[in-house]
Every structure is written in structure tokens, then in C-alpha cells.
């Protein structure tokens, strides 16, 4: 190597090397970069190392509060026995809802009844799909054995679907009067429409169902069905299947006196949210859901139209059922 040639990559050149302006610029640039790097690293805070939490000793875990501990098996078993076997003929049921829910992926069918005095009661639950007719027939028959009767008039509010209706009609026969849930029917009809037509038809359907005259409401719904035939045949078919049963409460002539919530089941969605935590349990899931249902039942208020329920029962008894 030529001793007069500077060593590349070194900070300082040899003593006997000739210093050039290029070397001065390189040395100055490296010095500036070193100072900037030192300043930046000095300003950066060093985060402390997070140590994993130390589990409490056995003695501390033994002193947990009742809220943190798992519920005892005895109250859970007692809650399920009460929900599954309590009598339903003490305070007669004038109307009841059956709805399929899916909290945390668990398919259940829940029954809620409206007593003659105006209180909602949990009738029972079963883990099955809403289209499992054989399991639903057994479930509805168990409600009938416990006192649920259609002999003096009974209204059943159901969502769209054939499984629940088939089970109810197989157990109670033509004595039960079916009311289709308006919210589920509304969603079923409008789900396949173009986006610009969905609010139009939802408004038209709501106006028809809010009419006090059942004959006028049926006429309007017939016109809507004719319009849907030209727009979407699937939507028209869905409306035709539930048209008659959507007017059941209107045919009683008591729509002015009754609460409009009698024709929908939006409160069942709140119950479904209440069952999210119990449904995620691995052990005693059914018992945990029963306990949650009974706790929620105690918080339900009396319906506003309770004074007219005896008259509704008589009207249902004389009303020709729509099947």
C-alpha cells in the first residue's frame, strides 16, 4: 500500500499522510452525525421492563369476595328447577312470545308469557334450533302440561319461520291465535330490496300496521304486495306469507287500547344480551341462564295496558284464528 494514500474508513489519517479538504469535510460530517446521535439517544426515555404479575398466594385467593367467586351449584340448580317446573295456571297467561336467540353462539328458544294481571313471566328455555320441530313440540307440550292453556283465548307472537308455528299449532290446535312479529317481518320483506327503496317500503308497511281499521290495513298491504311483485318477487312472497297474521291484533278492534309492544318482541333482544355471560360458561350453562332469566324477570315492570287484558282474552276466544 502506498503510505501517501489515506486509509479509507478510518477516523484519522496516518501522520505522514497528506491532509486534503475532502478529509476535513469527511471528518466534520462524522463528528456532526456522532453528536446528533448522542443527543437523540439522550432524549429517548428508556421504558422500564414490565414484570409479569405475581399470582396471589393460596391464602389470599381463599379470601375472595362473593362477587369474584364462582356461584354455588345449589342456587343454580334451584333456579333451573323453578324455571322448568313452576306452575303456569296460577295467574293465567293471555299471550306469550317464542323467539330463537343465539347468545355466544348457543342456539336457544325462549318462551316469555304475559299474565292476565299484566306481568311478564319467563316460561322456559330449550337449547335447539328454531326449526327443530320435534324438540319444539316437546318444549311447548311441557308448557301446556304446566298450565299454559288456549281454552279461554291465547295469543302467540312468533317471528318469521315455520318451525315455531308448527310446534305451537300441533300442541294447541286451532284455539291459539298467531300474531306475526312486525319487526322481524319488516326486516324479512325489505332485506332484499334496493337501498333507495328500503326506507320507502318500511314507511308504507308501518303506516299500514298502524291503521286502526283492519280492513283498510289489509287493503293497503295488498297494494304494497302488488308493487313488490314488480320490484322483488322474494320480498312479495315474504309479505304474502305473513300478511294475514300481521293483522291479528288489529282484527281484535283493540289496537287503541293495547300497547303496540304486544305485536313485536324487541324486549327479547335485551334478554338475549343478558344471557351473553351465562351462555359462555362451560359447566352448568343451562342453570346459569335460568338464574339470569329469573333475575331479569324481577326487574320487568307491569305493562301499561294491563287493565284491558281480560277483554283481550275474551276477544281472542271469539276471534277466528288465522292459520
CATH number at residue 141: 3.30.420.10
**Residue 245 falls inside a structural domain:** yes
For residue 175, pLDDT over 50 is answered with: yes
How many structural domains comprise the chain?
A: 2
Predicted local confidence at residue 8, as pLDDT: 45
pTM for the structure as a whole: 0.75
Is 171 in the same domain as 213? no
Q: Which domain holds residue 283?
A: 79-181+265-301
Q: Is residue 164 part of a domain?
A: yes
Residues 139 and 280 in one domain: yes
Task: Assess if residue 35 is contained within a domain.
Answer: no
Q: How many CB atoms lie within 10 A of CB 245?
A: 21
Residue 40 lies in a domain: no
**What are the pLDDT digits (tens) for 77-94?**
999 999 999 999 888 999
pLDDT at 188 over 80: yes
Tell whether 55 is covered by a domain.
no
Counting residues of the chain whose pLDDT is more than 70, the rounded percentage is 81
Residue 46 lies in a domain: no
The pLDDT tens digits of the residues spanning 117-126 come to 999 999 999 9
Strand 108-115 to strand 176-180: parallel, antiparallel, or no bridges (unpaired)?
unpaired
Distance, in Å, from the CA atom of 174 to the CA atom of 194, rounded to the nearest integer, reads: 38
Same domain, 114 and 147: yes
Q: How many CA atoms lie within 13 A of 32 on its CB side?
A: 6
Q: Do both 215 and 159 map to the same domain?
A: no
Amino acid at each position: 500500500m502506498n503510505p501517501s494514500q489515506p486509509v479509507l474508513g478510518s477516523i484519522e489519517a496516518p501522520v505522514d499522510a497528506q491532509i486534503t479538504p475532502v478529509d476535513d469535510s469527511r471528518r466534520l460530517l462524522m463528528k456532526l452525525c456522532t453528536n446528533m446521535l448522542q443527543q437523540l439517544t439522550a432524549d429517548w426515555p428508556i421504558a422500564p421492563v414490565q414484570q409479569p404479575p405475581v399470582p396471589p398466594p393460596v391464602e389470599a385467593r381463599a379470601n375472595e369476595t362473593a362477587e369474584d367467586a364462582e356461584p354455588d351449584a345449589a342456587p343454580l340448580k334451584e333456579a333451573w328447577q323453578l324455571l322448568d317446573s313452576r306452575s303456569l295456571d296460577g295467574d293465567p297467561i293471555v299471550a306469550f312470545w317464542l323467539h330463537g336467540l343465539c347468545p355466544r353462539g348457543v342456539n336457544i328458544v325462549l318462551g316469555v308469557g304475559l299474565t292476565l294481571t299484566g306481568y311478564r313471566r319467563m316460561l322456559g328455555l330449550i337449547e335447539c334450533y328454531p326449526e327443530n320441530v320435534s324438540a319444539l313440540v316437546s318444549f311447548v307440550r311441557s308448557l301446556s302440561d304446566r298450565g299454559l292453556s288456549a281454552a279461554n283465548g291465547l295469543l302467540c307472537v312468533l317471528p318469521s319461520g315455520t318451525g315455531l308455528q308448527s310446534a305451537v299449532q300441533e300442541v294447541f290446535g286451532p284455539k291459539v291465535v298467531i300474531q306475526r312479529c312486525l319487526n322481524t317481518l319488516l326486516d324479512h320483506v325489505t332485506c332484499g330490496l334496493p337501498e333507495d327503496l328500503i326506507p320507502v317500503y318500511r314507511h308504507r308497511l308501518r303506516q299500514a300496521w298502524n291503521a286502526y281499521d283492519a280492513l283498510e290495513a289489509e287493503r293497503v298491504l295488498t297494494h304494497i304486495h302488488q308493487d313488490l311483485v314488480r320490484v322483488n318477487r322474494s320480498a312479495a312472497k315474504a309479505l304474502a306469507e305473513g300478511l294475514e297474521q300481521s293483522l291479528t291484533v288489529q282484527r281484535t278492534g283493540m289496537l287503541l287500547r293495547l300497547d303496540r309492544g304486544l305485536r313485536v318482541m324487541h324486549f327479547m333482544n335485551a334478554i338475549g344480551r343478558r344471557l351473553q355471560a351465562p351462555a359462555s360458561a362451560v359447566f352448568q350453562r343451562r342453570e346459569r341462564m335460568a338464574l339470569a332469566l329469573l333475575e331479569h324477570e324481577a326487574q320487568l315492570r307491569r305493562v301499561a295496558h294491563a287493565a284491558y287484558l281480560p277483554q283481550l282474552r275474551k276477544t281472542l276466544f271469539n276471534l277466528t284464528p288465522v292459520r
